[in-house]
Amino acid sequence: MKVSKSERTRRTIVEAARKLFGEKGFDRTTVREIASAAEIDPALVIRYFGSKDQLFAQAAEFRLDLPDVTNVDRSRIGEALVQHYLAVWEGEAGTGGLPILLRSATSSETAAEQMREIFLRQVLPAVRAIKGGRGASRRAALVASQLLGVALCRYILKFPPMVAMPREMLVVEVGRTIQRYATGEDATEG
Amino acid sequence: MKVSKSERTRRTIVEAARKLFGEKGFDRTTVREIASAAEIDPALVIRYFGSKDQLFAQAAEFRLDLPDVTNVDRSRIGEALVQHYLAVWEGEAGTGGLPILLRSATSSETAAEQMREIFLRQVLPAVRAIKGGRGASRRAALVASQLLGVALCRYILKFPPMVAMPREMLVVEVGRTIQRYATGEDATEG
DNA sequence: ATATGAAGTCAACGCCTGTTGAAGTCAACG
DNA sequence: CGTTGACTTCAACAGGCGTTGACTTCATAT
């Protein structure tokens, strides 16, 4: 079963939208720009997705896919999480859901709400799986704060030392923090 | 020497601008809204500040005023920094420079550049003062990532557990992380 | 009282935005 | 060939934006 022509255009539009939303955020991306990048008419964007907001909602959808850490060396859980997280950010190269949301969530309540959803449905369960208990939601929030902070400084604000830092160093340094937040205990040395 | 009338209006405008920029970011705040909040004509805003961008630049200016930690118990430097940082955020209640910049820096390169300036001129020197050495800029970047991440989750994205967490708990938990990043060593217990 | 200059208002410009409905194109099918 | 139906374009609307220049208001100083 081949994909219909309309389905192909839909995807072209979403791809263009992802790229632009991820680079400039919701407000600074216009329907006309998206259409131009997809080499079609602006009206078609609306016809396919109803409105700019609905297109954004669709473009921003994604799964964080935190790795299963139940069979990872317990003292290396933090590193494993950071490793995966950075790979997600660098892999999707501006077309992924996280950059899109982070770029827009500081000024759009809708996007902020989507971030809270992701925290609730994807980060919190993962942290709970590592170590349950009454403090799980707090620990998850601390984990999220450190991970989002790293992405903010490295990929969005582009603080030079943060950009220059090799990935492995981040994995080790930030990994230790995540380890403590997620498990409640410090990582053992080297 | 009394303040002239024009000076008073100038300040009214900046105050209104600070409030709105801090709540909704640069793009979603209009000159007309600012004027309306200041109870004057939109044209006056431009007359006084030249353009919306110049008004923003002025409204976003601020000093982080990181405390002098040279005479603080060395094992409590992290806590002291977090304590001060949270006080800044909660004190300025949406009218301070940091919320304004953070709300806009994800989609405005100008605002992002201002954030890099603050990192360079205010955070980096403070971290260097605690412990110099070749890794100071990296450690400062890690400090910034954690602090900005906390503000993002607590004041902007409003992750419920992060909002609910008492300030003292944040000071202790995040303080430990900042302690390690800033000094290169862990905090001693209790 | 009248002139002066600052302080503030008004209406409008040109531009860009998301969105709409009618018209057009083109391949598939009777 | 002619007609359908999916796919796409075109031109335009209504509204909001930052910004401008001419006008009014008003306190002050001569």
Alpha-carbon span B36 to A96, nearest angstrom: 39
Residue B31 CA, nucleotide D16 C1', distance (Å) = 12
Q: Which amino acid is at B71?
A: N
Binned at pLDDT 50, 70 and 90, residue A93 comes out as low
Indicate the pLDDT class of residue A63, thresholds 50, 70 and 90: confident
Write the DSSP symbol of residue B120.
I
The 3 state secondary structure assigned to B38-88 is CCCCHHHHHHHHCCHHHHHHHHHCCCCCCCCCCCCCHHHHHHHHHHHHHHH
Asked if A105 contacts A114 with a C-beta cutoff of 8 angstroms, the reply is: yes
Distance A19 CA to D10 C1' (A): 27
pLDDT tens digits along B66-75: 888 888 999 9
Task: Report how many helices (DSSP H) and strands (DSSP E) chain B contains, helices first.
Answer: 11, 0
pLDDT tier for residue B190 given thresholds of 50, 70 and 90: very low
Q: Is B59 within 8 Å of B17 (Cβ atoms)?
A: yes
* Residues of chain A numbered 97-116 and touching chain B (CB < 8 Å): 102-107, 112, 115-116
Q: What is the mean pLDDT of residues A79-104?
A: 91
With beta carbons less than 8 A apart as the criterion, state whether B41 and B35 touch.
yes
CA A113, C1' C28: Å apart?
46
Q: Mention every residue, 6+ apart, whose C-beta is less than 8 A from residue A109.
A: none
Inter-chain residue contact B25 with A161, CB threshold 8 Å: no
Q: Which residues of A145-172 are buried (b: 16+ CB within 10 A; e: fewer)?
A: bbbbbbbbbbbbbebebbeebeeeebbe
Is the CB of B153 inside 8 Å of chain A's CB atoms? yes
Of A147, A173, A186, nearest to B186 by CB-CB distance is A186
pLDDT in tens, B145-174: 999 999 999 999 999 999 999 999 999 999
